[in-house]
Amino acid sequence: MKTSPKVQKEVIENCKAGDEKAFAEIVFHYQKKVFNIAYRMLGNLEEAKDLAQEVFISVFESIKGLKEEAKFDAWLTQIALNHCRNRWKYLKRRQYFNSDSLDDPVETEDGNMPRAIVDPSDNPETLYEKKMIQQFIQRGLLKLKEDQRELLVLRDLQGFSYEEMAVLLALPKGTIKSKLHRARVDLKGILERAAH
Amino acid sequence: MDCEKVRDRFSSLWEKELTPSEEKIVREHFSSCPECQKEFERFEKTMGWLRSVGEVEVPEGFLPELYKKMEERKRAPLGEKTRGRWFGFPLSLKLPVQAVAMVAIVFLVLYFTKMMPMEVTRLKDAQPPSFPLSEEKKSEQVWSQKEMEKERRVLETPPETPRSKDVDLAKAPVPREEKFEGAYVPPVKAEAKKVETPSSRTEIMAYQQIESKEAAGAKAPPPGPGKIEKGLTAKEKSVVASKPPQEIILRVSDREKMIFKLQELVKQFGGEMVTTEENMFLASLPTDSLSEFKKELVELSTPTQADKVIAKKQVTGKLKAAPGVKKEEVDEKSKEPAKLAADQESRTVVRILLIQE
């Protein structure tokens, strides 16, 4: 994983004992990763923040049940993915994403901005364009199936290895690879269709 | 390698996971297939965009908000906590519990919709035996009371009066019997609650008496006047014998002669000698001709000595069998013996005792 470094084993043990400082340290170390997974999976900053907080509450409530501290990362990611799946279903039931289109304005950290399909290769160095591309990709991700989005987020955005993904998703590496390829091709198709 | 197989290797090629020989084959295909070449370029671009997506910074105040939420959870009421906990339970635990609950609900619904009516009927059937008995008794009492009244009405009705329905029923025992067993019972049950029964036991006996009489009547309907000559059947005899006869005592000097005359007289009046013992005779006579028969009998006997004809008693079978029946009825019946006889039977048994001087 390319994100937050692993916390020390003692911190996890202290957190298990109910130490709030240890818990705060864990949150500090993993908040960005959890928040980004949530944001890429849900496409909404507020929902992502709320979900990430829920994930850490779940961690605090259930960390006593964690037997192997070495697997804390995978355990935490699993909790985050489960929360994302549940929240996605919840939001989908309430037709939260129905009006979503690649032409809709995109919510960013700087507020809503109009969508413009620009070939980033024209001027890839521009920050504005980068942000545009990011939002364009985000919308494309949200158009994918949930499990495909999960694969892309884990592998291409979070940098998980195939081995880690195989453990997290309980699937063989080969299956993950072929599914991931299908997800990438589908995303390419979505973005191309949106661009033309 | 065809286009499809080449395109399936785009991810591996882009991640440099293909073996050198495989990569060489794919690259050779690209040189010969510009379509696949273009397609891979677009794939590379998409992957470049995807990988260029940077991380979003966590909003400020993430941790304080998290603490706040945790505090709120701690203060949350117990009900909410348990509700939340239920959703947190694994499916392997929740499913059996839910299945058991469903089965329980189904059984309850079946019980309330299907079993309950059966239970109720079963309960109705299994009512304590005393209850239906008393109900029956009540109904019988009411019925007997009604029957008494009917009979009284029949007795009070003059022969000229057109018969009411009740009288018809009283006259025709068989249909009435049917009516009692069939359609008559349910209303009686209903009435039983309304009518107060004073005492019962005697009335029940009376009812039983009436019933037996009616049964007898049903078996042996009263013969018409023209049928008297045909004589009594064995059944009739038994019926007649079961009823106490009128008793006449004659004082005679010549027994043989008297017996002969007596037999002649009985025949003359359309009767029949039932039994003939030494000095006692039982004769069955039409009730209508009974009084004349008595007169003739007195004339036959010795005028000086046999003038005393004693009619000791004239008791109907009913009166004797049911001593508890109200006196009023007895009086009425004794006042109008002919009517009663006409209603109930047309023959009377006379016991004649000969006393030789």
Higher per-residue confidence, B284 vs A167: A167
Is the pLDDT at A177 greater than 60? The verdict is: yes
Give the pLDDT score at B178: 40
Domain endpoint, select from B198, B219, B240: B219
Expressed in angstroms, the distance from the first to the final Cα of chain B is 155
Provide mean pLDDT across the span A167-175: 94
What mean pLDDT is reported for chain A? 84
Give the pLDDT score at B245: 63
Chain A interface disruption, residue of B56, B73, B81, B87, most A CBs within 10 A: B56
Question: Percentage of chain A with pLDDT > 70?
Answer: 81
Same domain, B197 and B246: no
Same domain, B265 and B311: yes
CA-wise closest residue to B158 among B330, B339, B316, B337: B339
DSSP B289: G
Take residue B49 and report the two structure tokens written for it.
Answer: 């965009």
Residue in this structure with the two tokens 């023209």, named with its chain if needed? B226
Is the pLDDT at A190 greater than 60? The verdict is: yes
Which of A24, A137, A188 comes nearest B63 by C-beta?
A: A24
Is the pLDDT at A56 greater than 60? The verdict is: yes
Cβ <8 Å between A136 and B69: no
Is the pLDDT at A17 greater than 90? The verdict is: no
Distance, CA of A124 to CA of B105 (rounded, Å): 65
Cβ <8 Å between A120 and B11: no
Distance, CA of B176 to CA of B214 (rounded, Å): 9
In chain A, what are the domain boundaries? 1-98, 99-196
Q: Examine residue B81 and state whether it is found in any structural domain, yes or no.
A: no
Q: Examine residue B100 and state whether it is found in any structural domain, yes or no.
A: no
Cβ <8 Å between A156 and B50: yes
Q: Examine residue B138 and state whether it is found in any structural domain, yes or no.
A: yes
Query: Min CA distance, B50 vs chain A (Å)?
Result: 7
Which of A53, A57, A137 comes nearest B49 by C-beta?
A: A137
Hey, which residues 25-64 in chain B have their CB within 8 Å of chain A? 42-43, 45-47, 49-59, 62-63
Q: Calculate ∠ Cα A82-A84-A85, nearest 5°.
A: 65
Domain endpoint, select from B18, B35, B52: B52
Q: How many helices (H) and strands (E) does chain A have?
A: 8, 2
Higher per-residue confidence, A196 vs A194: A194
Distance, CA of B307 to CA of B304 (rounded, Å): 6
- A-chain CB neighbours of B69 within 8 Å are 53-54, 57
- Please state, as a whole number, how many other Cβ atoms lie within 10 Å of the Cβ of residue A120: 18
Domain endpoint, select from B163, B187, B219: B219
Give the pLDDT score at B201: 45
Q: Examine residue B284 and state whether it is found in any structural domain, yes or no.
A: yes
Q: Examine residue B106 and state whether it is found in any structural domain, yes or no.
A: no
Most distant CA atoms of chain A, gap in Å: 57
Q: Checking DSSP bridges between strand A106-108 and strand A111-113, what pairing results, if any?
A: antiparallel
- Our count of domains for chain B comes to 3
Higher per-residue confidence, A130 vs A43: A43
Same domain, B174 and B243: no
Domain interval for residue B23: 3-52
Query: Min CA distance, A171 vs chain B (Å)?
Result: 18
Q: What kind and span of H or E run contains A48?
A: helix A45-62
In this structure, of A48-52, A141-145, B84-88, the range with the lowest mean pLDDT score is: B84-88
ipTM of the complex: 0.82
Which of A35, A121, A136 comes nearest B58 by C-beta?
A: A35
Same domain, B263 and B144: no
With b meaning 16 or more CB within 10 Å and e meaning fewer, what string describes B31-41? eebeebeebbe
3-state SS, residue B317: helix
Same domain, B140 and B41: no
Distance, CA of B297 to CA of B292 (rounded, Å): 8
Which of B59, B63, B70 comes nearest A45 by C-beta?
A: B59
Q: Examine residue B328 and state whether it is found in any structural domain, yes or no.
A: yes
Chain A interface disruption, residue of B4, B43, B53, B87, most A CBs within 10 A: B53
Give the pLDDT score at B342: 47
- Please state, as a whole number, how many other Cβ atoms lie within 10 Å of the Cβ of residue B253: 12
Q: Which residues of A touch B (CB under 8 A)?
A: 3, 24, 27-28, 31-32, 35-36, 39-40, 45, 48-49, 52-54, 56-57, 60, 109, 120-121, 130, 133-134, 136-138, 152, 156-157, 177, 180-181, 184-185, 187-188, 191-192
Same domain, B242 and B303: yes
**Which contacts qualify for B43-48: CB closer than 8 Å, 24 or more apart?**
B43/A184, B43/A185, B43/A188, B43/B10, B43/B14, B44/B14, B45/A121, B46/A184, B46/A187, B46/A188, B46/A191, B47/A156, B47/A184, B47/B14
CATH of A1-98, one of 3.90.320.10, 3.40.309.10, 1.10.3720.10, 1.10.1740.10: 1.10.1740.10
Higher per-residue confidence, A39 vs B243: A39
Handedness of CA A25, A28, A29, A34 (dihedral sign): positive
Same domain, B209 and B274: no
Q: Examine residue B32 and state whether it is found in any structural domain, yes or no.
A: yes
- B-chain CB neighbours of A191 within 8 Å are 46, 49
Residue in this structure with the two tokens 């009492």, named with its chain if needed? B141
Query: Min CA distance, A12 vs chain B (Å)?
Result: 18
Q: Examine residue B120 and state whether it is found in any structural domain, yes or no.
A: no
Among left, alpha and beta (phi > 0; psi -120 to 50; other), residue A50 is: alpha
Query: Min CA distance, B43 vs chain A (Å)?
Result: 7
Structural fold of domain A99-196: Arc Repressor Mutant, subunit A (1.10.10)
Same domain, B48 and B19: yes
- B-chain CB neighbours of A55 within 8 Å are none
3-state SS, residue B349: strand
In this structure, of A6-20, A82-96, A160-174, B177-191, the range with the lowest mean pLDDT score is: B177-191
In chain B (357 residues long), the average pLDDT of successive 10-residue segments reads 90 93 93 93 92 89 91 73 69 89 93 71 58 52 63 52 42 40 40 42 44 43 42 44 65 79 83 78 80 78 47 42 42 45 62 77
Same domain, B209 and B264: no
Is the pLDDT at A30 greater than 90? The verdict is: yes
Same domain, B152 and B199: yes
Distance, CA of A51 to CA of A57 (rounded, Å): 10
Same domain, B263 and B214: no
Which of A52, A130, A188 comes nearest B42 by C-beta?
A: A188
Question: Percentage of chain A with pLDDT > 90?
Answer: 56
Same domain, B265 and B334: yes
- Provide the β-strand partners of residue B272: B284
DSSP B288: G
- Please state, as a whole number, how many other Cβ atoms lie within 10 Å of the Cβ of residue A69: 18
Distance, CA of B183 to CA of B167 (rounded, Å): 18
Please, where are the H alpha helices in chain B? 3-8, 10-14, 20-32, 34-52, 62-75, 78-88, 91-110, 116-125, 130-156, 165-171, 173-181, 185-194, 201-219, 234-242, 255-268, 290-300, 317-321, 327-335, 337-344
